[in-house]
């Protein structure tokens, strides 16, 4: 069996934990670095006897963790969803709401209730894992001259794997835009940087229930603490006051984009209130740099991060 023969299908559930039956033709997503870890609670039977030999344990509640990486791109058609699998499906299962303006744009903003969920089909060559009730979190990574990548982390309900292989898959033919002319700004300042990371940092909690067959009723998003990091070149405080803004916890606006120029494949990421957690010094080929970890805060609520595809 081959590692490269890995396929992931993803489809939004209309009812939590109920398989919506994703298909290879409509729901396949290009992925790499796939890791799937079913885990269970080992219930020990540690009773006193004359023998020191252990008794067999029994398997308690079970869940599944899935991580993988995708490229980040548009649908290829402005303000329209594709007929094939797309990363926007995964954003919805990570606590973001999808708003489509026909022929114009698709926007994603965080929500604080009515969270959606997704069923993942993971084929590891001839072994098939069906994972229902998945919710997750993500990290967007961008480096100069490369396309944006998204690392996804999902938790879902356990279903026993079986032997199966997928039918022929249909994947998006859209090429992701490269990170050139990225329009990176902090307020009105344009730092010279080579990489940025933005993480949603959702908290994923377990809702347990002794009335369910496995003891696990639901994976829940119970909180979030979005943030990230940036690596700008060091400048004087008069040019841009990185240290002063950290000292005073000053909130500044972040903008990345528009990235790309082809309609339906232009990405813009904005945040109204970025706060530095404290710069540290670095070196980039002899140039003095900062490493700036940051957090993202709300403006009016459920708006600390916005992703727009035009």
- What tens digit of pLDDT does each residue of 182-199 get? 999 999 999 999 999 999
Evaluate the CA torsion angle 8, 11, 13, 19 in order and state its sign.
negative
Is residue 256 within 8 Å of residue 301, measured between CB atoms? Answer: no
User: What pLDDT shows up at residue 2?
Assistant: 84
Decide if pLDDT at 100 tops 90.
yes
The rounded distance, in Å, linking the Cα atoms of 66 and 230 is 27
User: What pLDDT shows up at residue 41?
Assistant: 83
Decide if pLDDT at 1 tops 90.
no
User: What pLDDT shows up at residue 272?
Assistant: 98
Task: Determine the average pLDDT of the residues in 132-143.
Answer: 98
The 10 Å CB-count burial string (b at 16+, else e) for 266-288 is bbbbbbbbbbbeebeeeeeeeee
For 117-135, write each residue's pLDDT tens digit.
999 999 999 999 999 999 9
User: What pLDDT shows up at residue 114?
Assistant: 96
State the SS3 of 72-103. CCCCCCCCCCCCCCCCHHHHHCCCEEEEEECC
Residue 97 has phi, psi (to 5 degrees) of: -95, 140
Decide if pLDDT at 83 tops 90.
no
Q: Which two tokens stand for residue 194?
A: 């080579």
- Here the contacts of 100-105 (C-beta below 8 Å, separation 24 or greater) are 103/78, 103/79, 104/78, 104/79, 104/310, 105/78, 105/79, 105/308, 105/309, 105/310
User: What pLDDT shows up at residue 190?
Assistant: 97
Bridge partners (DSSP) listed for residue 62: 40
Q: pLDDT band for position 309 (50/70/90)?
A: very high
CA–CA–CA angle 207, 209, 210 (5° rounding):
155
The rounded distance, in Å, linking the Cα atoms of 39 and 15 is 24
Lowest mean pLDDT among 14-23, 35-44, 299-308: 35-44
Question: Domain boundaries in the chain?
Answer: 6-40+56-309
Q: pLDDT band for position 177 (50/70/90)?
A: very high
Q: Give the best-scoring range by mean pLDDT among 47-56, 81-90, 263-272.
A: 263-272
Decide if pLDDT at 291 tops 90.
yes
User: What pLDDT shows up at residue 40?
Assistant: 85
Q: Which residues contact 83 (CB under 8 A, 6 or more apart)?
A: 26, 170
Q: pLDDT band for position 59 (50/70/90)?
A: confident
The rounded distance, in Å, linking the Cα atoms of 106 and 74 is 9
User: What pLDDT shows up at residue 215?
Assistant: 87
Please report the DSSP string for 17-42 in residue order.
T------TTTSEE--EEEEEEEEEEE
How buried is 51 (Cβ within 10 angstroms: 0-12 exposed, 13-18 middle, 19+ buried)? exposed
Q: pLDDT band for position 282 (50/70/90)?
A: very high
Evaluate the CA torsion angle 185, 187, 192, 197 in order and state its sign.
negative
3 state SS of 241 = coil
3 state SS of 7 = strand
Q: What is the mean pLDDT of the chain?
A: 96
Lowest mean pLDDT among 33-47, 93-107, 126-140: 33-47
User: What pLDDT shows up at residue 223?
Assistant: 98
Distance, CA of 31 to chain centre = 13
How buried is 309 (Cβ within 10 angstroms: 0-12 exposed, 13-18 middle, 19+ buried)? buried
User: What pLDDT shows up at residue 283?
Assistant: 96
Decide if pLDDT at 214 tops 90.
no
Q: Which value, in Å, is the radius of gyration of the alpha carbons in the chain?
A: 22
Is residue 133 within 8 Å of residue 9, measured between CB atoms? Answer: no
Task: Determine the average pLDDT of the residues in 20-48.
Answer: 93
Q: Which two tokens stand for residue 217?
A: 């009723």
Q: pLDDT band for position 201 (50/70/90)?
A: very high
User: What pLDDT shows up at residue 39?
Assistant: 86
For 220-250, write each residue's pLDDT tens digit.
999 999 999 999 999 999 999 999 999 999 9
């Amino acid at each position: 069996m081959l590692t490269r023969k890995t396929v992931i299908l993803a489809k939004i559930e209309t009812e939590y934990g109920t398989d919506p039956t994703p298909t290879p033709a409509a729901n396949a997503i290009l992925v790499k670095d796939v890791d799937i870890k079913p885990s269970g609670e080992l219930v020990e039977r540690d009773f006193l006897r004359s023998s020191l030999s252990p008794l067999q344990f029994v398997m308690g509640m079970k869940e599944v963790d899935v991580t993988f990486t995708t490229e980040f791109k548009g649908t290829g058609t402005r303000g329209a969803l594709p007929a094939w699998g797309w990363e926007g499906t995964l954003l919805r299962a990570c606590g973001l709401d999808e708003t489509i303006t026909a022929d114009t744009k698709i926007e994603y903003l965080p929500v604080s209730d009515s969270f959606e969920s997704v069923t993942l089909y993971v084929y590891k060559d001839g072994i098939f894992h069906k994972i229902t009730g998945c919710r997750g979190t993500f990290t967007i990574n961008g480096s100069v001259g490369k396309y944006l990548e998204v690392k996804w982390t999902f938790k879902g309900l356990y279903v026993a794997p079986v032997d199966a292989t997928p039918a022929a898959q249909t994947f998006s033919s859209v090429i992701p835009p490269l990170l050139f002319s990225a329009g990176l700004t902090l307020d009105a300042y344009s730092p010279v940087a080579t990489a940025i990371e933005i993480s949603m940092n959702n908290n994923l909690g377990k809702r347990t229930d002794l009335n369910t067959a496995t003891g696990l009723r639901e994976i829940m998003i119970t909180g979030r603490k979005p943030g990230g990091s940036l690596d700008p070149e060091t400048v004087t405080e008069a040019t841009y006051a990185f240290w002063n803004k950290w000292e005073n916890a000053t909130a500044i606006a972040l903008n990345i984009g528009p990235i790309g120029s082809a309609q339906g494949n232009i990405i813009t990421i904005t945040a109204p209130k970025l706060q530095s957690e404290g710069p540290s010094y670095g070196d980039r080929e002899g140039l003095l740099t900062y490493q700036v970890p940051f957090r993202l805060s709300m403006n009016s609520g459920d708006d600390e991060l916005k992703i727009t595809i035009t």
